[in-house]
Amino acid sequence: MNLRKAYLFNFLSGHGGDFFITLASKCSRVHAGAWKDEQTFNERLDEFKVTGKMPGNNIGTKLINGDWDLYRKMIEDNLAEFRSMSHWKEGDIMSFCTHWGQNPDPTLKSRLEHWLQTEVEQVNMIPKTDVSRLFADHSYQWKVLYNTVPEDAVGIDHIDLLLNDRDELFKQVERIGEDLNWKYVEKVVDVYMEYKVQPFLDYYGL
3-class SS string, 103-133:
CCCCCHHHHHHHHHCCCEEEEEECCCCHHHH
Residue with the bigger pLDDT between 145 and 177: it is 177
pLDDT at 165: 98
Give the model's pLDDT for residue 145: 62
Q: Between helices 108-116 and 68-83, what is the axis angle to 10°?
A: 40
pLDDT band with cut points at 50, 70 and 90 for residue 65: confident
Question: Can you give the pLDDT at residue 53?
Answer: 92
Q: What is the pLDDT averaged over residues 58-66?
A: 81
Other CB atoms closer than 10 Å to residue 163's CB: what's the count?
18
Q: Is the pLDDT of residue 1 over 60?
A: no
Q: What domain count does the chain have?
A: 1
pLDDT tops 80 at residue 125: yes
65-74, 81-90, 138-147 — most confident range: 65-74
pLDDT of amino acid 154: 81
Backbone angles phi, psi at 128, to 5 degrees: -110, -10
Q: How far is CA 128 from the centre of its chain?
A: 18
Distances (CA, A) of 123 to 31, 37, 47, 106: 15, 27, 26, 15
- Nearest 5°: phi and psi at 18? -65, -30
The residue among 191, 184, 200, 203 whose CA lies nearest residue 24 is 184
Between 64 and 144, name the one with better pLDDT: 64
Which of 10-14, 102-106, 194-198 has the lowest average pLDDT? 102-106
Range of the domain at 17: 5-204
Q: Which residues contact 76 (CB under 8 A, 6 or more apart)?
A: 60
